[in-house]
Amino acid sequence: MDNWVIEPFGKTHDRSAFTCGKASLDDFIRTRVSQYEKRRLGKTFVAVSEGEKRVVGYYTLAAGAVAFEHLPSEASRKLPKHPIPVILLARLAVDQSAQGKRLGEKLLLDALRRSLDLSGSLRAHAVEVEALDDSAVAFYLKYGFGPLLDNPKHLYLPVATIEKVLG
């Protein structure tokens, strides 16, 4: 297995050849990430092989909210009836050269750890993700995410669950 390092995105990272197989995710890291960072629309973290700058994976976190009506009844029982603050896992992608090597899992766990840390000061209730397709849904379900009521690809994982698992 490669020795990957996950670090905040910087302009010195080489992302020109990044290809994960999803055009929107490829386009984001190749051409849009700098503008998102500059405008404070999200924070992107990249995976690189130790000592290198070529991006082999990435994820982006941002602030978000989930409509109260979209929460399953067991999740909403003790919550106020207004939008619930969450940390949005806006993107997660792995270059084709690193697929099948558990880098997606490493990126997700890193994102969840960072989200847990952020929730200590922001008090976000959950991590939210909009999966692009059924294989992405299966990936997130495997790690405990559950569907929201508005769309089966709109998923969430309560911070309390993350806290129990990652401590």
Q: Which of 36, 140, 143, 156 is catalytic?
A: 140
Inter-residue contact 46 to 57 (CB < 8 Å): yes
Identify the residue whose tokens are 């990249």: 46
| Cα radius of gyration (the chain) | 16
- What is the 3-state composition of the chain as percent helix, strand, coil, each rounded to the nearest 5? 40, 30, 35
Annotation marks residue 140 as catalytic = yes
Q: Three-class SS of residue 15?
A: coil
List active site positions. 140
